[in-house]
Amino acid sequence: MNINQKSLNDLLSIMQPKNSLDMLREKREAQLKKINQGLSTSPDSGKNDTNDSRQDFAELRAIDEQIQMEIYEEKSNKLELERLEREAAAAKSLRKKERASAEHQAVLERCSMNKLFSANRKSIELRTMVKSGVSVTLTKDFSASDKDGPVNKLFQKSEEINRDLRESSDFGIAAAKVAARRQNIRNQKENEEAALENSKRRKNKNKNKKHINIIL
């Protein structure tokens, strides 16, 4: 089967379709060829050739403007895609940090509650010890070396309760600081998104007012 050049070009155009910019560039080349052919003809052809030449140049300018707009759109789309990819990567990183921060806050809150429950449990134990008849009144006859004595156990239990309460408070404060940082990050993100949305609106509003000069 014989395949001529036209058939081959048609087949390639089907397998590898050209984009609008390539088609415009081919159209521009064809228009330039047409203008050059017109300029190479006899100069005394008359007024009609002059009008045709002006029309040809006007069409060339229109093609150039279309090419400029296509290049602008292509570059804008490329920049927009790159921006979206950067934002997606930043959002992914931010989500990871947010999850880690949320887990950290949850751990601190659990530690705070556990210490609070521990203090409450020990308070119940202390009240039980007091109700059983152990006196916490110190006398001159009380010996500090009596570590296993009932009075000393009461003081130890009281110190454990105070320690648990202090640690519960410390964990709670740390959790609150983490929560505040997370909220500040969310507020900052919302402000950035709002500013970006306003910037997009201004760009879309002024898009038709922009003029771009591109040397081909």
- pLDDT number for residue 197: 84
pLDDT tier at 215 (50, 70, 90 boundaries)? very low
Asked if 21 contacts 67 with a C-beta cutoff of 8 angstroms, the reply is yes
What is the chain's mean pLDDT, rounded? Answer: 78
CA–CA separation, 211 and 33 (whole Å): 28
Asked whether residue 214 is assigned to any structural domain, the reply reads no
- Residue entry with tokens 């045709």: 52
* 149 found inside a domain: yes
Number of domains in the chain: 1
94 located within any domain = yes
Q: What is the dihedral of CA 62, 66, 72, 78, to 10 degrees?
A: -170
Asked whether residue 125 is domain-assigned, the answer is yes
Domain that holds residue 175: 17-209
List pLDDT tens digits, range 133-186. Answer: 655 444 444 444 556 666 788 888 899 999 999 999 999 999 999 999 999 988
- Asked if residue 142 belongs to a domain, the reply is yes
Any domain includes 181: yes
In a domain, 201, yes or no: yes
Residue 7 lies in a domain: no
For the segment 192-199, the average pLDDT, to the nearest whole number, is 83
How would you class 141 by CB atoms within 10 Å of its CB: exposed for 0-12, middle for 13-18, buried for 19 or more? exposed
Phi, psi of 87, rounded to the nearest 5 degrees: -65, -40
Neighbouring residues of 165: CB distance < 8 A, sequence distance ≥ 6: 115, 116, 119
Q: Report pLDDT for 128.
A: 85
